[in-house]
Structure 1
């Protein structure tokens, strides 16, 4: 399994187009990845820092998403306009322990 950790903070230039784009791409990635997208969670800290955690079943599907033209356009807008800062980490999950089975997690 692959875990993508995306930390960010909005710039003063963020606009309504961000929310529209985020909603569209979240729907698109779920449709494109199907069962290869395990979980997608977003959090916002009190200080405004944002955190997205995305679990992928395999690197091939993640690579397909990374190369998606609409996703790449949104990344450019993020770098140029929407984010004051961002940090992306991609990690291979070596082990997971849980008190519940995978069926307990809602679909992403």
Structure 2
């Protein structure tokens, strides 16, 4: 699902991943992280796609909101599991979105 227009400025956290062969518990944890993120201050939405490379973009009101999410205990535990077990590689980028536009038929 593509998120409809958000009020700018806001922040996008782009999380790109290559997963390992051992994905035991991965989908359940990813779903839990999405549910938990929705409860966090400043959360605006999420978009995700996976093929050979997974890309998840979450949207936040402020940089402070992103830091609070990063430091959430359950999120930290999931991140540690990802490093130990599920990811061969990941890259995280934080961007300030100053304008946006789109199209829909």
Aligned twin of 2:49:
43
- TM norm structure 2: 0.81
Number of residue pairs aligned between Structure 1 and Structure 2: 95
2:20–2:86 Cα contact (<8 Å) kept: yes
Tell me the secondary structure at the aligned position of residue 94 of structure 2.
strand
CA distance in 1: counterparts of 2:78 and 2:88, whole angstroms: 15
Q: CA deviation at 1:61?
A: 1.4
1:58-69 equivalence runs, <5 A: 58-69=62-73
Question: Unpaired segments of 5 or more residues in structure 2?
Answer: 1-9
Q: Tell me, which stretches of 5 or more residues in structure 1 are unaligned?
A: 101-108
C-alpha distance in 2 between matches for 1:4 and 1:50: 13
More helix by share: 1
